[in-house]
């Protein structure tokens, strides 16, 4: 007979991605043993985030402010617009510190099979933003998957008449990667896009 509070906690933890019932119990015990150092702060952080985090109405980023801090940051270049599928991709690019423009989060990719059309994604908003005079370049930072590439094609078609430069991320050998372990497609792309040293 496990108490109802602990039981409920375990059931909620088991809904997190990557956790099953067994690991949820392990996490619950770990938390109960660290009540003041981890459990209470995590509970507060979740409550705070649940109450405060919203989707930026301009770019689709998640932040406590709307428009988000990236959209309102004057030091960022408004002429560069980087299109990503999900907020996680935006986070990944922000971690590099290599991009100083603004973002546009689509919220997924086009999929005829799953009935996801342009209006289900943030594509209308993207077309509107890309047409603004300050935007000079749209970078399609979509995943190198079928869905990502289909979506990239669709967006480049729709932006063909716009006065913006359309770019995509380079394909090639990952930094630190070994040729022997690379798939043929990546190696072919890296060879085709070879550069002078």
Residues at the site binding its own copies, with contacts judged by CB under 8 A: 1-6, 8-9, 12-13, 15-19, 23, 25-27, 29-32, 35-36, 38-53, 62-65, 68-70, 73, 86-88, 91, 94
Bond prior to 67 in cis (omega within 30° of 0) = yes
Closest of 15, 108, 103, 110 to residue 67, by C-alpha? 103
Alpha carbon 88 to its chain's center = 3
Phi first, then psi, for residue 103 (nearest 5°) are -120, 165
Beta carbons of 81 and 131 less than 8 angstroms apart: no
Find the shortest distance in angstroms from Cβ 6 to its own copies.
Answer: 7
> Which residues, at least 6 apart from 36, have a Cβ–Cβ distance to it below 8 Å?
none
Cβ closest to its own copies, residue 13 vs residue 81: 13
Find the shortest distance in angstroms from Cβ 121 to its own copies.
Answer: 15
Cβ closest to its own copies, residue 28 vs residue 190: 28
Closest of 78, 76, 151 to residue 108, by C-alpha? 151
Cβ closest to its own copies, residue 12 vs residue 193: 12
Cβ closest to its own copies, residue 15 vs residue 195: 15
Find the shortest distance in angstroms from Cβ 197 to its own copies.
Answer: 33
Find the shortest distance in angstroms from Cβ 196 to its own copies.
Answer: 35
């Amino acid at each position: 007979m496990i108490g109802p509070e602990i039981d409920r906690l375990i059931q909620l933890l088991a809904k997190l991605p990557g956790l099953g019932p067994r690991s949820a119990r392990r996490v619950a015990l770990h938390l109960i043993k660290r009540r003041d150092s981890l459990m209470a702060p995590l509970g507060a952080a979740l409550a705070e985030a649940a109450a405060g985090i919203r989707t930026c109405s301009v770019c689709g980023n998640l932040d406590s402010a709307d428009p988000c801090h990236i959209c309102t940051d004057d030091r960022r270049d408004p002429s560069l617009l980087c299109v990503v599928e999900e907020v996680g991709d935006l986070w990944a690019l922000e971690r590099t510190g290599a991009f100083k423009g603004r973002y546009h989060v689509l919220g997924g990719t086009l999929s005829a099979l799953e009935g996801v059309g342009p209006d289900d994604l943030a594509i209308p908003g993207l077309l509107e933003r890309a047409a603004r005079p300050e935007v000079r370049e749209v970078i399609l930072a979509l995943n190198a998957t079928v869905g990502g590439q289909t979506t990239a094609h669709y967006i480049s078609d729709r932006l063909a008449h716009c006065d913006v430069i359309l770019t995509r991320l380079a394909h090639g050998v990952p930094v630190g990667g070994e040729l022997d372990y690379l798939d043929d497609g990546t190696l072919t792309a890296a060879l085709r896009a070879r550069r002078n040293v």
